[in-house]
Amino acid sequence: MDFGGIILAGGKSVRMGTDKGLLKIGSKTLTEISYETIEPFIKECLIVSNNPDNQVFGCKTVPDLIKNIGPLGGLFTGLTLSNFEYNLVIGCDTPFIGTELFAKIVNQAIGNEVIVAKENNFIHPLSGMYRKTILPKIKVQIEQNTYKMMHLISNTTIKTCFIECNPKTNFANINTKEIFESALLNLENIWHKH
């Protein structure tokens, strides 16, 4: 089974004050790190970003088809434009997840429409797999002005699977300068790339 990849990098980054996807850890941007996390499992990758500078070699950057509705809009754009039925989705602001989670997700893909990470009872909707078959349900949700990802995840008409995460999986969300600076200082403790 072939997978597409969708990197959600189009947020306003209001709290950060700059485009999160272009921040660097070492020599790589957060978007590049996200790509490397899912790259072993995908055939093609889309970066959903309203900033054309948010690029990774070999990936296509596309703007939101519907602007200003958050991650749901990015997911809608990615699934609409993807050439693949099954798509791995990752947010650019969670650079420490590592590939192990996505290996598990790929192994569970058959028979599911949505697979998302679960850490104890906390669900991470932007780390997972989404099938194109859910696009009509996303459209209905958007038409109802309901933009929360958790509303989509809790839709009982969608076949959803939750992957319990390894305790070492780090979902640290880089959304403020303080968190980013702290992450840089603690890289050795928080990065479980392999």
Q: Is the pLDDT of residue 15 over 50?
A: no
pLDDT digits (tens, 9 = 90+) for 95-149: 888 899 999 999 999 999 999 999 888 899 999 999 999 999 999 999 999 999 9
Token couple for 103: 């290996």
Q: What is the pLDDT of residue 82?
A: 98
User: Which residues touch 182 (CB under 8 Å, ≥6 apart)?
Assistant: none
Token couple for 127: 């780390």
**Domains, the chain, ordered by start:** 3-185 (3.90.550.10)
- Asked if 72 contacts 148 with a C-beta cutoff of 8 angstroms, the reply is yes
Measured in whole angstroms, how far is the alpha carbon of residue 50 from the centre of its chain?
A: 15
Q: What is the pLDDT of residue 163?
A: 92
d(CA 173, CA 92): 9
Token couple for 21: 């996807």
- Taking the CA of residue 150 as centre, how many other CA atoms within 13 Å lie in the half-sphere pointing to its CB? 4
Q: What is the pLDDT of residue 111?
A: 93
pTM over 0.75: yes
